[in-house]
Structure 1
Amino acid sequence: MPRLTESPTVVTLGAIGAVFALQQVVGLILPQTLVFGMSRPVAQPWTLVTSVYAHGGPSHLLSNAVALAVLGFLLERETTSLRYHTFFVLTGTIAGLAEVYAARLLGPVVPWMVGQVNVLGASGAIFAFLGYLLASNRLTETVVGGVSLSPRAQLALGGLCAAAITIATANPGVALIAHFTGLLLGFLAGRAHLLRPGTALDGPEPTNP
């Protein structure tokens, strides 16, 4: 039986917990958002990564950890650790950047949106996991595979699905743009099966936990 440390989901959960503990220590000296959060302009380049693993509080951490555990254990069966971690960081970073810069553009014209935000949390990456699983499962392959759609039509369909799920799961104070971006990235990656193993870069084939 594979060890728990071989599971990329367990490793990611451990990293999130370790970063949260570090946040509490750093928070005694400096504001956590200043050190770990992503804001505009991105003056501290490390926040492109730390913002994906850091969280705003225990409830934020717990909700994301539960969602990551449910989706991550499913996703890791289809890919390698390298692809898993790369996908997690890249989609989380892009989703955070989308939230930060969308706030700049929409803040002056949308009453409920502020122009300057500070992004913390793994939800963008977690929504990308959800989008990938929804787009790459056998049922979706059966339904969508029998319909001839242009790349532009597939992008529009993915955008509509991402928007619908984002609205359905919206709560006050959440990063809706980041969630939408993560979902859309996940849908597109799932349709392309980007996380399927098979390249020399991936290393050994994945094993089921």
Structure 2
Amino acid sequence: MFPIRDHNPSRRPALVTYALIALNVAVFLAMLPSYGDDRALLGLYSNWAMVPARISLGNGYYTLFTSMFMHGGILHIAGNMLFLWIFGDNLEDEMGHLRYLIFYLLCGVAAGMAQYLAAPDARIPMVGASGAIAGVLGGYMLMFPKARVDVFFFFIVFFKVVPLPAWLMLGFWFGLQLLGELGSSGDGGVAYLAHIGGFIAGALATYPLWLRRGGRVFWDRTNGAPPHAAARYRIQTTSVPIVRRRK
């Protein structure tokens, strides 16, 4: 299952969100030739990915920032950018462009630190925007717990799009990260602790904004939905004629 869109339109162009997506894609394209060359890829990771053991030695602190713009493959960046595109614009709308950019970067650093503190001697490089985007998810769930999110379910030959409240979809996602961390062997793969740390950091960083909006009063005014009209999507009917099987 994965989200494909929400029913929460932003009121202003999400310039920072679009710029972050563009920057991530540009870095990925710049790295693309290295994916077929292990030596070149190792050099990139050694210089720009976040390696906990390197930070423990007192250098490479800048990689807490640079690593959040690197990705390990097409599915990695595609999934991350989908989540950022769906959920980032609304937080940017509420926070403003500059505050949202600072929020995003700080969530990414918090996510990296969560992974670092769990294993400061690890030599496995960490890359990806997942931690920063997890912060966006945490902030979104606090601000718009009942915003509707269209989720695509696929199981073998069965598929369906189901609208779910944000708290259910994002809460389920967060639960998967907890389960993933409990079952993780710690020898590489998904940085679940970075996701967990980023999500919590995002919710905490958004909490003052939520209070300024009125806290529970903000929720009560719209029953936890966005404080503006929800987007409506029309399903276009196909022009392809239906051919029935003859008996």
Taking structure 1 as the reference length, the TM-score comes to 0.67
Partner Cα separation in structure 2 for residue 178 and residue 161 of structure 1: 17
Q: Which entry has the higher C-alpha Rg, 1 or 2?
A: 2
Partner Cα separation in structure 1 for residue 21 and residue 211 of structure 2: 20
1:137 is aligned, of 144, 160, 184, to 144
- The Cα of 1:74 is off from its aligned counterpart by 2.1
User: Is 1:9 paired with 2:17?
Assistant: yes
User: Is 1:128 paired with 2:135?
Assistant: yes
- The Cα of 1:11 is off from its aligned counterpart by 0.4
Counterpart code for 1:24: L
Q: 1:138 to 1:94 in 2, by over 3 A?
A: closer
- Residue 38 of structure 1 corresponds to 50
Counterpart code for 1:118: P
Counterpart code for 1:7: L
Q: 1:58 to 1:169 in 2, by over 3 A?
A: same
More strand by share: 2
- Say whether the 8 Å CA contact 1:103–1:116 is kept in structure 2: no
SS of 1:56's partner is: coil
Counterpart code for 1:136: M
SS of 2:141's partner is: helix
- Residue 62 of structure 1 corresponds to 78
Q: 1:126 to 1:169 in 2, by over 3 A?
A: farther
- Say whether the 8 Å CA contact 1:103–1:117 is kept in structure 2: no
Which one is further off, 45-54 or 9-18? 45-54
**Which sections of structure 2, spanning at least 5 residues, go unmatched?**
1-10, 148-170, 214-247
- Say whether the 8 Å CA contact 1:78–1:196 is kept in structure 2: no
Q: 1:135 to 1:3 in 2, by over 3 A?
A: closer
Q: 1:164 to 1:3 in 2, by over 3 A?
A: closer
- Say whether the 8 Å CA contact 1:100–1:118 is kept in structure 2: no
Partner Cα separation in structure 1 for residue 211 and residue 61 of structure 2: 26
2:177 is aligned, of 166, 185, 190, to 166
Partner Cα separation in structure 2 for residue 195 and residue 90 of structure 1: 20
More helix by share: 1
Q: 1:163 to 1:66 in 2, by over 3 A?
A: closer
- Residue 100 of structure 2 corresponds to 84
- Residue 189 of structure 1 corresponds to 205
Which one is further off, 126-135 or 171-180? 171-180
Q: 1:138 to 1:182 in 2, by over 3 A?
A: closer
Taking structure 2 as the reference length, the TM-score comes to 0.58
- The Cα of 1:162 is off from its aligned counterpart by 9.2
Partner Cα separation in structure 1 for residue 141 and residue 80 of structure 2: 18
What count of residue pairs does the alignment treat as equivalent?
167
